[in-house]
Structure 1
Amino acid sequence: MDKFEQALAKVDGFIAQYPSVTQYEKLKELEEKTGHSKVYFFVGALSLILSLIYVTGGMKLASDLVGFLYPAYMSFKALEGGKTVDGDATQWMTYWVIFSFMMLLESTFPLARTVRFFHLIKIGVIIWLYHPQTSGAQVIYSSVVRPNVQKFAGAKKTE
């Protein structure tokens, strides 16, 4: 099996794993009617959506969507079910505090956006914040936010 076929198999596994998000049944119907792989339709639709996002809102919109869509979905799951695969409600609340602060800084210091590849860097930082293997939001909260807020709030430091 060559690399292209391996990539197709991975995408096929992904769309089968999340049937409600990827509209798996509709993709299967298209595959049966046309004889072309459902993976091609999925990749084509995804490419079209990403192109429209880029054309209409640019990288700012793309980075804001990366920072909002998945975390909002996981926050909803955490609120509805108590625990999620990637952590609990506390992890997502921590993410939203850090993300909100980041957005505030971005709007307060617009010159930051003049940095080359700012939005690509922002996307990387956002993914680092919420990715379960890195939990960057927890790192920033415990090392920067919590100690400084405790100084002003007068709370005792607990570990």
Structure 2
Amino acid sequence: MGKFSTLVSQAHSLAGPSLALIYPLYASVMALESTSKLDDEQWLAYWIIYSFLTLVEMVIQPALEYIPIWYDVKLLLVGWLVLPQFKGAAFLYERFVREQLKKSRGTSQTQTQTHNKGKAKFVDFIIPKKGEHEAH
């Protein structure tokens, strides 16, 4: 029974990084290479939510030490976020993150104009217009 227990323990410890990082990295690259925007949204939402979860986990780490099933709960949560059958990351983003962004941004015309000006300046900085060359 000792070898089986060790094998299960090792598989369990590999499941988290595989499910939370390796598969999402692969799927994100595949999404970027596909023509569909839906998969891009799913994986961007995943990385946003996973980053937030990781930050929260870092902050409350001392409390998590008293919750022995935290790793299992996190594994289930990440599975729900990642697996295409559930699209949990896209759901959470649409339901909570986007709603909070809408509330904090507001929809005033001046904010939209200011945002568009800043965006245009950034684009102009990154992609200079034709005829604007640096002197070397």
Aligned to 2:42: 91
Partner AA of 1:140 in structure 2: L
Query: Contact 2:64 / 2:70 at 8 angstroms: preserved in 1?
Result: yes
User: Percent of pairs identical after alignment?
Assistant: 32
1:115 to 50, 63, 67: 67
Query: Contact 2:19 / 2:82 at 8 angstroms: preserved in 1?
Result: no
Aligned to 2:86: 134
**Aligned-pair RMSD on alpha carbons?**
2.7
Task: Say whether residues 1:104 and 2:59 are aligned partners.
Answer: no
The whole-number CA distance in structure 2 between the counterparts of 1:138 and 1:63 is 20
Q: Which has the larger radius of gyration?
A: 2
Task: Say whether residues 1:68 and 2:21 are aligned partners.
Answer: yes
Q: TM-score w.r.t. structure 1 length?
A: 0.54
CA pair 102-150 structure 1, distance change in 2 beyond 3 A: same
What do the CA deviations read for 1:87-128 (whole angstroms, capped 9, x no partner)?
611111111111111111101111134312111111110010
Q: TM-score w.r.t. structure 2 length?
A: 0.63
The whole-number CA distance in structure 2 between the counterparts of 1:64 and 1:148 is 29
Query: Contact 1:77 / 1:83 at 8 angstroms: preserved in 2?
Result: no
Query: Contact 1:82 / 1:89 at 8 angstroms: preserved in 2?
Result: no
Q: Which runs of 5+ in 2 are unaligned?
A: 1-5, 109-136
Q: Which runs of 5+ in 1 are unaligned?
A: 1-46
